[in-house]
Chains A and B, each alone.
Chain A
Amino acid sequence: MRRVRSGLRAMALIATLGAVALVAACSGSGGGGVVDAAGLRELQADGVRVIDVRTAGEFAGARIPGAENVPIANAAAIAEAWDRTAPVVLYCATGERSAVVAETLRSMGFEEVYDYSGGMAAWDGEVEYGTVATAAPAVTTSGIPVLYEFYTDW
């Protein structure tokens, strides 16, 4: 019985250590983590860079004021030049792409990566629309109705 009991205790200890390791892995090796809209606002007020990892088209359509656009496809290459000790907060449309980029940056050694997991879909703050330098193009038809689809291969 003793052996069984000590074995169970050992298994419980291993399970506990495993859980701790799993939590540590999920939350990254440094600071940062998942934040909500209020958390993003606080970080932005503290001067933390806000990175929108959606496509240029999505970014041009609507974005969180002050955000920079670094599409997921280019994020790793562009972030190579960034200061890995400086915090960043990421967002996308729904949190899916920003979570991927957050893990990428952590694996690159970024110490403080925040992921606004709600994305634009849950953003309840101010929204900035349109591009600064590009005038809205006129939309003409060839005499029949038109369907535009904005899509991505990602």
Chain B
Amino acid sequence: MAPVVDRLKTEYEGKVEFRLLNADTDPDAASLGARFAVQYVPTFVLLDSDGTQRDMIVGEVSEDDLRAALDALR
């Protein structure tokens, strides 16, 4: 998923903040994973600008689908 996320991260710079957490090594991954009830990797959690959870995508996702989810954020 890295190339897709990297492309979108560049494309949405200034519009959406990308927070990428390595579930094996990132110290915040466990607590945030619990916060969002993440069961599998990869998992994408999308929040509106006020912090409200808008969407969760579990597993591999196409670039088009991820772009559509990003476009739906407010």
What residues of chain A have their CB less than 8 Å away from a CB belonging to chain B?
55-62, 71, 73, 93-94, 120-121, 129-131, 134-137, 139-154
Contact = CB atoms under 8 A, between A and B. Distances in A.
A140 B28 CA distance: 14
Contact of B24 (A56, A121, A129, A149): A56
B37 A146 contact: no
Contacts of B34: 60-61, 129-131, 134, 136
Contacts of B26: 57
Chain A, interface SS category: loop
Nearest to B54: A145
Contacts of B18: 146-147, 149
Given A58-B33, A137-B35, 13 more contacts: A58-B23, A60-B30, A60-B31, A121-B40, A136-B35, A139-B32, A141-B17, A141-B47, A143-B49, A147-B47, A149-B1, A152-B41, A152-B42
